Structure 1
Amino acid sequence: MSDTNLTIRELRRRFADKSLSPLEYWLALEHHIAAWEPSIMALYLYDPEAARAQAKASTARWAKGRPLGALDGIPVTLKELIATKGQPVPFGTKAVELKPAEADAPAAARLREDGAVIFAKTTCPDYGMLSSGLSSFHPLSRNPWNITQNPGGSSAGAAGAAAAGYGPLHIGTDIGGSVRLPAGWTGIFGYKPSHGRIPADPYYVGRCLGPMTRRVEDAAFSMATLSRPDWRDGTSLPPNDFNWMDLDIDMSGMKIGLMLDAGCGLAVDDEIGDAVEAAAKGFEKAGATIISVQPVLTRAMLDGLDSFWRARLWSEIADLDEERRDSILPYIGDWAKAGADVSGVDAVRGFNQTIEMRRSCGQLFTTVDALLSPTNPIISYPAEWASPINDPAKPFEHIAFTVPWNMSEQPAASINCGFSRSGMPIGLQIVGPRFDDMRVLRLSKAFEDWTGGVSAWPRPPVT
């Protein structure tokens, strides 16, 4: 087969009618990955032989009409921060001792239960604390749209893999924008659900897992599997009875906020602001009332979070021997060392700013039913940079539109809303009320239907 760009539902239909087997699809995808991977370096622990064995077993199950679950035979990657039994979790850094994980993390366990073909992990920067494909452990990951440019992060490899068409489903993590930011920079759909909707282990304030896909439908389809509760996540939400594929929506009477100023951080490039405003007109045409809204984030909130996160990471690396600590990417190591000077009182004050974010977001959503904003404030930046401004003294100037919704635990997505004059993707962020995951998915699907989604994805470089 030549077309590897099939949706999950298309694959399931063809597996069921036996016009395509999971093994045949995997072998075609394996060839496609081989053409791309030397250029973008999105994968870690890529194991095509193991994938062939998984796909062969799935083919036998489909032949008998007995697939294990909804994702049986579907190729999937997991960000390397998500543990898979028997494989190391390097956290993107040379500083970590490589030990086999004792168990699958919840997302990996759910995918295996459903028969998914887990063929690789995807790259991330040191400790997942950069929006970049730069890492002291992994090779430099690059953006498929232009390999001189950064894919963003910290779910860098997952975004690159999705944009390059390494199958329909890739799972990332997001504590301040790490699913949505790279989704915006690579033109894919990145979904951060309500906190606890997809169980995480370890779980932490603001930390979510989310699907990264080319199409909204694929992300929605995966949620039935990924959202099954797991006792290891103390914030895991109760079982849901959503029909995740019920994606129709009537926007008549909806009040949708439009936020073009994040309140602090990097200024929004004109091309991005224009694209987001144009996108808002589509929602207005569909019957929603668009309301210009003020920022939810302040400088004090972002700086407080910076202090808290520095102290948090320093607490994790302070006991490393000097050689291991010095092996951390200098940008991250230098940033974290400042955490040694954050007092306990100041760390608590910093953490309290996450509560202030939550209050601010909650107040806004007493006046609107959903929110639109840019995902990223700038178009792109060099692949070799650690962040969009490459300044460790100001590491979070690019997350001002995304991080509030982690702390408020609200669902949020990034979807492509156009391209810059330089040919790079532009992301639209769609945010919904806490727990109303379906609203975000439905609004995203409606927007994708109006625009037709990305019609021409990048092709592998000619070698």
Structure 2
Amino acid sequence: MEHSMSAQSSESLCHLNATDLVAGYRRGDFSPVEVLDAVLSRTERLNPRFNMFFHIAQESARQEALVSERRWKEGQPLGLLDGVPVSIKDSIAMKGAPMQVGSRALRKIVSAQDAPPAARLREAGAVLFAKTTMPDHGMFGSGVSTAFGVTRNPWNPAFNTGGSSSGAGAALAAGLGALSVGTDIAGSVRFPASLCGLASLKPTHGLVPHLPVVAVREAGPMARSARDLAAMLHVLAGTDKRDYGSFPALAAGVPGWREPKGLRVGLLLDVGYGNKAEPAVVAAVRNAAETLARAGAQVEEMSALLNVDVLVPLAQMSATTMLARFEAMSQEQRDLSYLPLLEFAERARRLTALDYQAAIQAVDVAKAEVVRATAAYDYVLAPVVNKVNWAAESNAPDDDDIYRLTSYCGMFNQTGQPVGCVCAGFDERGLPIGMQIIGQRFDDRGVMQLAEQYEALRGFDMQWPECQ
């Protein structure tokens, strides 16, 4: 395999999706080494401006690419992602790479082993080339971090990437790696997918093992197309004995491919609490619903999801978790911690044990109502966030109450339902607008199928930013 790509064609390799890369490897059009070199060269040019990565595993990635190239030459690839460059979120352990969870208060610890997502990718031959930036402790839906600074959106660097998988979103939009793994506890693979024009999946809880185990957090694939999500989920899913909550991967072919025709689709524009979506967001999601209706789906607009402000008890629970984390730190670490997060955690100090139990109960009641309200539909379409975007340096559109950013997303972590995100359009500034596709538990493949079908029907092709 000759390594003679021109500078222009080398740069174009960075914009190929994972499925296109694998097809090219199979034909012998280019090699994993050529692709990695192109990605590393583009990373060197763009990372200082957009701040996607805090660690580049250049030497180990090059070795992985060389071994992958040999497998392809011998006609013995390991799987669907052999030779595909993939980045990993800061909070996911990757052997030999540092982990800081976005906080300057925590020293960089070099991971001694791979967490399950990194392990599954490595076993499939993927080339793990970088760790992505994130906000402190993953507690903000933005790209602002005390450890790494501000991560900027390749569509327009004045705007936010969303978070907490902020570096992953920026990297994919900029053509730095075909795939990335994020994590999601209240929208953290969906916010950056929405703000950066990507596809992502928050899987059914337990389908993708992760450490440490958190009852409402999932590791999820992020990509430039819904088709790539399916290949990545196939690799990530399955039992890992280190995660006691993980279950076997869903059986191949279940469910079978379903066309939009006849699907029962709910259109959820009002969750009943938080800030309602602005007109541009509503218009994009409504237009997507109409697109699926023209393809034969039975679309019905839903009433408000809940009649209580569930963000209040959810915030109480999260604040309590963060307060306990800060109490375990030294005073020096607390002094280095992000002040808005410290202030958020301090809300929990005046809560009693009975208050905390009441918050848990209120969320449990809301979970049952969400499951009931969505049970009549195969899938539900909804906004990801109430705003198209906001300033790169801000934690949220409304800095006075950052938790309200999760209004459209958070409850589906609580119920464990799979949720895909796809780009549903752009506003007048050319900024992407994402849409959630919410499915029933264990129907992850169905969610991804509908996402892929919608991408084929939506009437526009993604013209990714050149980032000159």
Normalized against structure 1, the TM-score is what?
A: 0.95
Conserved? CA contact 2:57–2:128, under 8 Å: no
Are 1:63 and 2:73 an aligned pair? yes
- Which residue, 255, 262, 265 being the options, matches 2:274? 265
**2:410 counterpart residue number:** 403
Paired residue type of 1:53: Q
Conserved? CA contact 1:93–1:135, under 8 Å: yes
- Which residue, 305, 312, 318 being the options, matches 1:296? 305
Distance 1:357 1:210 in 2: 24
Structure 2 residue matching 1:224: 3-state secondary structure: helix
**Is the alpha carbon distance of 1:430 and 1:173 closer, same or farther for their aligned partners in structure 2, counting shifts above 3 Å?**
same
**1:451 counterpart residue number:** 458
1:353-392 → structure 2 map (5 Å cutoff): 353-391=362-400
Structure 2 residue matching 1:45: 3-state secondary structure: strand
- Name the % identity: 34
User: Bigger CA drift: 174-183 or 382-391?
Assistant: 382-391
- Which residue, 396, 408, 433 being the options, matches 2:440? 433
Are 1:208 and 2:221 an aligned pair? no
1:105-116 → structure 2 map (5 Å cutoff): 105-116=115-126
**2:341 counterpart residue number:** 332
**2:96 counterpart residue number:** 86
1:127-166 → structure 2 map (5 Å cutoff): 127-166=137-176
Conserved? CA contact 2:288–2:458, under 8 Å: no
Distance 2:454 2:80 in 1: 26
Distance 1:388 1:249 in 2: 37
**2:51 counterpart residue number:** 41
**Which deviations, in whole Å up to 9, do the C-alpha atoms of 1:144-197 show, x marking residues without a partner?**
111011101001001111111112111100000000111111111111111111
**Is the alpha carbon distance of 1:29 and 1:247 closer, same or farther for their aligned partners in structure 2, counting shifts above 3 Å?**
farther
Structure 2 residue matching 1:252: 3-state secondary structure: coil
Structure 2 residue matching 1:191: 3-state secondary structure: strand
**1:322 counterpart residue number:** 331
1:88 positional shift? 3.0
- Which residue, 361, 369, 376 being the options, matches 1:352? 361
Paired residue type of 2:242: R
**How many pairs were matched up?**
458
**1:14 counterpart residue number:** 24
Distance 1:143 1:38 in 2: 13
Paired residue type of 2:335: D
Normalized against structure 2, the TM-score is what?
A: 0.94
1:118 positional shift? 0.3
1:53 positional shift? 1.9
1:228 positional shift? 2.3
Conserved? CA contact 1:206–1:406, under 8 Å: yes
1:240 positional shift? 2.3
Structure 1 residue matching 2:110: 3-state secondary structure: coil
Distance 1:314 1:12 in 2: 46
1:398 positional shift? 1.6
Structure 2 residue matching 1:211: 3-state secondary structure: strand
Paired residue type of 2:369: S
Paired residue type of 1:27: D
**1:197 counterpart residue number:** 207
Q: CA RMSD in A?
A: 1.6
Paired residue type of 1:196: G
Are 1:415 and 2:422 an aligned pair? yes
**Which deviations, in whole Å up to 9, do the C-alpha atoms of 1:372-417 show, x marking residues without a partner?**
11111101111111222112xx221121111111111001111111
Structure 2 residue matching 1:261: 3-state secondary structure: coil
Off by >3 Å, runs of 4+ in structure 1: 297-300
Structure 1 residue matching 2:164: 3-state secondary structure: coil
User: Bigger CA drift: 337-346 or 294-303?
Assistant: 294-303
Paired residue type of 2:283: D
Question: What are the ranges of 5 or more consecutive residues in structure 1 without an aligned counterpart?
Answer: none
1:331 positional shift? 1.2
Are 1:171 and 2:181 an aligned pair? yes
Distance 2:206 2:57 in 1: 30
Distance 1:386 1:299 in 2: 25
1:48 positional shift? 2.3
Structure 1 residue matching 2:109: 3-state secondary structure: coil
**2:285 counterpart residue number:** 276
1:90 positional shift? 0.8
Conserved? CA contact 2:257–2:446, under 8 Å: no
**Is the alpha carbon distance of 1:452 and 1:72 closer, same or farther for their aligned partners in structure 2, counting shifts above 3 Å?**
farther
Paired residue type of 1:325: R
